[in-house]
Structure 1
Amino acid sequence: MAHAHTVKRYSGLMDWLTTVDHKKIGILYLAAGGFFFLIGGLEAILIRIQLMKPMNDFVSAQTFNELITMHGTTMIFLAAMPMIFGLMNAVIPLQIGARDVAFPFLNSLGFWTFFFGGLLVNVSWFLGGAPDAGWTAYPPLSSERYSGMGIDFYAIGLQIAGIGTLVGGINFLVTIINMRAPGMTFMRMPMFTWASFVTSMIILFAFPALAVGLIALTFDRLFGGNFFDVSGGGNVVLWQHIFWIFGHPEVYILILPAFGIISEIVSTFSKKRLFGYSSMVFATVLIGFLGFMVWVHHMFTVGLGPVGNALFSIATMLIAVPTGIKIFNWIFTMWGGRISFTTASLYGMAFIPTFVMGGVTGVMLAVPGADYQYHDTYFVVAHFHYVIVGGLILGIFGGIFYWWPKMFGRVLNETLGKASFWFFFIGFHLTFFVQHFLGLWGMPRRVYTYLENQGWDDLNWISTIGAFAMGVGTLLVLINIFITGLKPRNADSDPWDGRTLEWTIPSPPPEYNFKQLPLVRGLDALWKEKSAGNKEMTPAEPIGPIHMPSPSLLPFIMSVGLFIAGLGFMYKNYDFTNGFMSMLFGYNIVSIGGLVITFACMFLRSVYDDHGWHIEPEELQDKGVKA
């Protein structure tokens, strides 16, 4: 075993390419997710400019189709999920008293496969045209007959990115089950950890369904398969079932971590223990379970019949019950509390009524008869964005302001933070509240222009102004991050008077997180020690050498190989008439080369015995664990 001063250490760019440290990987996820968030936001602005007035010709119909497809795909798969994974990576091991995740190498591989998969989807803009069949890619619109090569980028890029998400979900499941600090039972875990645990479980069961659908779509497009080709015996409704069996649990993959973030923020800034902790845990688990039983409410207009529609209508309404439990528990937590109106707290409190509005319209959409009226109108657009943007993005922004001091050792500027909140919050409601009425008044979604004098003109104009306000709010967050980054790292280990274990160690944390693993003696472990008058957490082990995993470049190279292979598959017209060897060594050498790179890295990883390295006690920081 190597000591800290003898192990190979990297710096600069190489350090970020080879890191397996969960905290740095969390930062990478946040940076990449933020980058894709800006791309998706720009696409949204272009959409709103096009719809700002009737008969606008700002973009063509084809470009508009590409914009709405890439906006949805980017925001769901490449922005929201990685930002969630960024916060999970940065916080979960600290909250459970662990020194890293269970599989650091796989953690790095998960990030790089996501990143290169997302890159593959987005380079389609420059290599023949972006996906244009909607973010749900319904056949036959996504077949070769009606869509160009952009859908190939969509199908293969999301398969590569999905590997990263699935690997990450499994990693967090194993981490939370096996690496909790001594004394941290499941019913002593923080709510963000619980929400991430259930989210990871959903990922484990939902993402294979998406992989099956994308593989079948790829076979249809590249190899002449007939999974969704009606003329060849396929079924287009089969894609809808496969997609939404993944797609609706995906909503809870996105929103449950936001629930966890809000639980942490509301409790901390109300100076109270979370009201009804046990009911919150069971509500979270129930949401995860029921999330797999409601997918057909996306398909009420397909014609599945009254029995199927009724069953899934009931299940959809039922899922409002555990969600309502959470809403009331957050309100009761704040009731009588000493609320601090920080930026994080504002995001947390704004989340609650905004998400309730999204939930109420969700119950409306759960009625099959009414859904015939709402379906494919801007009412659905408004509902979806109230849940995802008004829920998830408000939660993520709140989490960023809350945990930024722990991640970077600097507290974000509160004045700029509150300005960004009000711009984003007011802009959001301006954008999407009026879209409910646009939908009820008959404006269909996915149309690139509309005739004047239908009652839609003014509301579309208001919606576009709101979108620009949201953009200003997002830019203010970036300015805040830049300005704060110029200041020295002087954040206290516990700037918010927190309740959980991440606030017991220095900000930012050392590479090994905990000099000694803490002994957890109850829910809100740090708050319990504070209440007992203790200045430090009770250690669960003596000071000794700490084993750390070695950095590795292999995950990066493996992901580059998959990226190259994906490009090769898309630029290959398969001709089986000339024999297998002709196919293998003729046109598709690029794909073979990319896969060789990936499998060579897998082989190297299997034969290379990575023992990691030790940090000896004398090399640990002397900073104590303050309570």
Structure 2
Amino acid sequence: MTLQPNPPQRALRLHRDLDAIWCRPRGLRGWLSSVNHTELGLRFMITAFVFFGIGGLLAMLIRAQLATQGGAFLDAAHFNQIFTMHGSLMMFLFAIPMLEGLAMFLLPKMLGSRDLAFPRLSALGWWCYVLGGLILLAALLGGVAPDGGWFMYTPLSSRAYSPGINADVWLLGITFVEVSAIAAAVEITVTILRMRAPGMALTKMPLFAWYMLGTAAMMLVGFPPLILGSVLLELERAFDWPFFDVARGGDPLLWQHLFWLFGHPEVYIIFLPAAGAISTIIPVMSRVPIMGYGAIVAAILGLVFLSFGLWVHHMFTVGIPHLALAFFSSASALVAVPTAVQIFAWIGTMWRGKPQMRLPMLYLMGFFSTFVMGGLTGVMLAIVPFNWQVHDTAFVTAHLHYVLIGGFVFPMLAAVSYWMPLITGKLQIKSLGQTAFVLIFIGFHGTFFLMHLTGLLGMPRRIDIYPDNSEWVWLNLISSVFGFVMAMGFALFAISLALQVLFGTRARRDPWQAETLEWAAPLPAPSYNFASLPLPGQQGALPLARGEGLLPGAPRPQRETLVVDSISGAPRHVAVLPGNTLLPLVTAGMICAFVLLMLAGLYAVAPLALVGLIVAAWQWHHPAPLHGAPEVKVGPELSLPLHPFVADPLSRTGMTCLLIANGSIFACYLFALGFLSVIAPAWPAPESQVPQIAILPGLVIVAALAAAAALARIPQGAGAMAALALLGVAALALVVMVPLLDDPRLHARDALRAAAMGYVALHVIVGAVLSALCLVQRRDGRISALTSGATAHWRMWLDFSAVTAGIVLALISLQQVLA
């Protein structure tokens, strides 16, 4: 007779087995190869705080420079580099990565999953973020940092006015960092839609997940315009393709449109995760459920939609037609409505409850008083006549900081204070945290409130001295003094966190009595989050810890978690996630090598790094062998198939998200083509010298892509060899067609054609790699009557490639006819 282990022993065994599967090895290699979402989320947040500290030091240099009329600290060249780097660090290397890290850390815990959908993609994003940030910091230390403002307006950022590599560092470095943002957007979207606890329908998700879903959707659509704009400007600087040169058919306003198509949605990309933290913390601190769940979700969706119709309000002074001014002014005022809905829901929640003024709540009070003031000045700036008066003055600087620090930094400080026990397992040191809040709050308002007055008195932004304007002296001096008070507050906040880690008392499980799912994990949270996954309607931490949920323990030595239906949350299959690997680091290293070679001007050698990137990416598609039968028993009465044996795995949803971002890039290209052909003064373009026969290779390209897409529908990947041959024909037709086109240096029309050919060529190359992958998987038996392998992604990519190539050919043909 065999004795059964008692419940504590069984729970201990479950945790031991899970830890052996999900933890990373000790040592440097283990640290470099880790793909666990808890660790990567913490890395993102810690790195973001480091960049925030560096950006804060640069801000103190700016305030020291402006404290006196003559500016005794910096000359104009260094001042330009410092204020450019301050803005770039805060926007691209602090705000976005901070929200990515918070989402990566929290979402699986909130949703009842063991990890994110694509752990290696998270690791790739972190490495791209760190390496891209190091490139920017190295440029700052080397005296070649970007100096054209964090917005890099043309023509000042073109080769004629910025001949060094300063602007190239920004364009290539920030684009490198944006790889991280797109990776995070795909990761977050797929995780929220497909990896919730069984039975958690969309209508039952935590509000934080709704906010992050809206954020990720905006990132998928909003970041591609900046990526496209950066690529076009770098092509102009490196190869003299005149996308922004007025004399040759370009227009500097195209850069502003592309930048602000990203730049204004980014304000709400930053605000929404902060609002998600607010909607999570306020009910807990008020001891009542959130008021108006449905109204808040509707407000989130409204903000996501409206945020893409506001970009021109940054361009009211560039000569926009009056009808467009009226439209964008109205839209800018209208966006205050969904924001107000959320604020009233939060106020109503506090009114119904009894708010406890603990440290997270103090920071939220700072948010209310600050963000509402920033919103009011935002409504003022939405009114065109007022905007004309204060455009590019310190008033706009004050508004920006009230919105970003009030709407993001204060909520993030509240979030860190609230979730710190989940990270460290220890409680905060109260007096230090409260003192830090007081210093930050007083220092912030003392710094930036006075900037409204200096702006109304006419002080421009981005100046380093003002010797003839004595009326600004005292206001600037007071702002600078309070700026250093605020810096001391942030320093004290960092010290309080360090002391909490080192000397804080142990926290019991769920110290805030929140009773939400993330607090069901032990403190600090283990690498696998839950010993078993929640059953529909299951409450409490102990049943999960004892293995009374789904997928208890690790009976098979692999990282298993559940995948559910996107809408209803019904369980669909079991995903086996990849383990620790160096592939993300190697892949990011190849991208970094390409960026460095481009910065060095070694344009002929740089493609070799892309070959290395393809080789590294190829290795991602060699999964570890699966253990057990194709169907897994996940609970007493539930068995589900493993992911290779289903038609709709996580990777299919991920490819859909990636193609949405890709489609946004293509749509922005079409916008650029239409904008220049209608608005740019040097159009119509000179008569093209492209012979009519050049259309024939274009027809071959489109026909080959369409035929390859059709072959991809043959079951079990049987058409992969023929599709690969057709893609070779398409590549040969590209080689024939490119020399027939006009020199892309002659006119923006020709540069746009060349860029479109490059876009099509990239899709042909990726399609060929996917075709070769399907051939290998078919040979190895990973594509069969039961398993689809990479065929679903292959079909989707080829369909997209054929459609976009057809549109490009149609536009080139139309231009030839009209010419």
TM normalised by structure 2 equals 0.70
* Equivalence map 1:309-388=2 (5 Å): 309-388=325-404
Deviation at 1:534, TM superposition (A): 10
Deviation at 1:183, TM superposition (A): 2.2
Alpha-carbon contact 1:216-1:227 (below 8 Å) kept = yes
Is the deviation greater in 326-335 or in 185-194? 185-194
Alpha-carbon contact 2:392-2:460 (below 8 Å) kept = yes
Match of 1:203 among 219, 235, 249: 219
Q: 1:195 to 1:492 in 2, by over 3 A?
A: same
Q: Which amino acid aligns with 2:76?
A: A
Identity of aligned residues (%): 41
Q: 1:247 to 1:185 in 2, by over 3 A?
A: same
Deviations 1:264-315 (A, max 9, x none): 1111101111111110111011101100011000000011111001000111
Structure 2 residue 589 is matched with structure 1 residue 565: no
Q: What residue number does 2:581 align with?
A: 552
Which has more radius of gyration? 2
Match of 2:422 among 406, 419, 422: 406
Match of 2:486 among 460, 470, 474: 470
Deviations 1:129-166 (A, max 9, x none): 11111100000111111123111010001111111110
Deviation at 1:78, TM superposition (A): 0.3
Q: What residue number does 1:486 align with?
A: 502
| Separation of aligned partners in 1, 2:77 and 2:22 | 54
Deviation at 1:567, TM superposition (A): 1.2
Alpha-carbon contact 1:248-1:295 (below 8 Å) kept = yes
Q: Which amino acid aligns with 2:354?
A: R
| Aligned-partner SS, 2:620 | helix
| Separation of aligned partners in 2, 1:538 and 1:357 | 49
Deviations 1:408-437 (A, max 9, x none): 212221211111111111111111011011
Q: Which amino acid aligns with 2:51?
A: F
| Separation of aligned partners in 2, 1:252 and 1:165 | 15
Alpha-carbon contact 2:534-2:544 (below 8 Å) kept = no
Q: 1:465 to 1:537 in 2, by over 3 A?
A: farther
| Separation of aligned partners in 1, 2:626 and 2:314 | 48
TM normalised by structure 1 equals 0.90
Query: C-alpha root-mean-square deviation of aligned residues, in Å?
Result: 2.3
Deviation at 1:83, TM superposition (A): 1.2
Match of 1:120 among 129, 135, 141: 135
| Aligned-partner SS, 1:456 | helix
| Separation of aligned partners in 1, 2:21 and 2:407 | 47
Is the deviation greater in 264-273 or in 591-600? 591-600
| Separation of aligned partners in 2, 1:26 and 1:4 | 18
| Separation of aligned partners in 1, 2:602 and 2:18 | 53
Deviation at 1:610, TM superposition (A): 2.7
| Aligned-partner SS, 1:164 | helix
Structure 2 residue 178 is matched with structure 1 residue 162: yes
Q: What residue number does 2:301 align with?
A: 285
Match of 1:541 among 531, 543, 550: 550
| Aligned-partner SS, 2:187 | helix
Alpha-carbon contact 2:129-2:180 (below 8 Å) kept = yes
Structure 2 residue 95 is matched with structure 1 residue 80: yes
Deviations 1:9-51 (A, max 9, x none): 5213333321111000011101110111111111110000000
Match of 2:45 among 2, 21, 30: 30
Deviation at 1:593, TM superposition (A): 5.0
| Separation of aligned partners in 2, 1:297 and 1:42 | 31
Q: What residue number does 1:183 align with?
A: 199
| Separation of aligned partners in 2, 1:4 and 1:114 | 28
Deviation at 1:328, TM superposition (A): 0.9
Q: What residue number does 1:428 align with?
A: 444
Deviation at 1:8, TM superposition (A): 9.5
Q: What residue number does 1:392 align with?
A: 408
Unpaired segments ≥5 residues, structure 1? 575-583, 615-627
* Equivalence map 1:207-218=2 (5 Å): 207-218=223-234
| Aligned-partner SS, 1:396 | helix
Is the deviation greater in 5-14 or in 78-87? 5-14
| Aligned-partner SS, 1:486 | helix
Deviations 1:149-186 (A, max 9, x none): 11101000111111111011011101000111022111
Q: What residue number does 1:618 align with?
A: none
Q: 1:6 to 1:279 in 2, by over 3 A?
A: closer
Deviation at 1:224, TM superposition (A): 0.8
| Aligned-partner SS, 1:158 | helix
Structure 2 residue 268 is matched with structure 1 residue 239: no
Q: 1:456 to 1:105 in 2, by over 3 A?
A: same
| Aligned-partner SS, 1:335 | helix
Q: 1:8 to 1:55 in 2, by over 3 A?
A: closer
Deviation at 1:70, TM superposition (A): 0.7
| Separation of aligned partners in 1, 2:375 and 2:176 | 32
Alpha-carbon contact 1:255-1:391 (below 8 Å) kept = yes
Q: What residue number does 2:617 align with?
A: 602
Q: 1:178 to 1:8 in 2, by over 3 A?
A: closer
Q: What residue number does 1:504 align with?
A: 520
Deviation at 1:604, TM superposition (A): 2.0
Unpaired segments ≥5 residues, structure 2? 1-16, 560-577, 629-819
Q: What residue number does 1:621 align with?
A: none
| Separation of aligned partners in 1, 2:55 and 2:625 | 42
Alpha-carbon contact 2:299-2:342 (below 8 Å) kept = yes
Q: What residue number does 1:447 align with?
A: 463
Deviation at 1:538, TM superposition (A): 11
| Separation of aligned partners in 2, 1:483 and 1:60 | 39
Q: What residue number does 1:47 align with?
A: 62
Alpha-carbon contact 1:222-1:573 (below 8 Å) kept = no
| Separation of aligned partners in 1, 2:602 and 2:124 | 30
Structure 2 residue 85 is matched with structure 1 residue 70: yes
Runs of 4+ aligned structure 1 residues displaced above 4 Å come to: 2-9, 533-540, 611-614
Count of residue pairs brought into register by the alignment: 591
| Separation of aligned partners in 2, 1:127 and 1:33 | 22
| Separation of aligned partners in 2, 1:429 and 1:218 | 39
| Separation of aligned partners in 1, 2:544 and 2:513 | 13
Q: What residue number does 1:92 align with?
A: 107
Q: What residue number does 1:60 align with?
A: 75
| Aligned-partner SS, 1:445 | coil
Alpha-carbon contact 1:90-1:407 (below 8 Å) kept = no
Q: 1:613 to 1:245 in 2, by over 3 A?
A: farther
Deviations 1:57-105 (A, max 9, x none): 3100111111111111110000111111111111111111111111111
Q: Which amino acid aligns with 1:78?
A: L
Deviations 1:350-376 (A, max 9, x none): 111211111110000001111100100
| Separation of aligned partners in 2, 1:386 and 1:482 | 27
Q: 1:360 to 1:538 in 2, by over 3 A?
A: farther
Alpha-carbon contact 1:195-1:257 (below 8 Å) kept = yes
| Separation of aligned partners in 1, 2:276 and 2:19 | 36
Q: 1:128 to 1:225 in 2, by over 3 A?
A: farther
Deviation at 1:611, TM superposition (A): 4.3
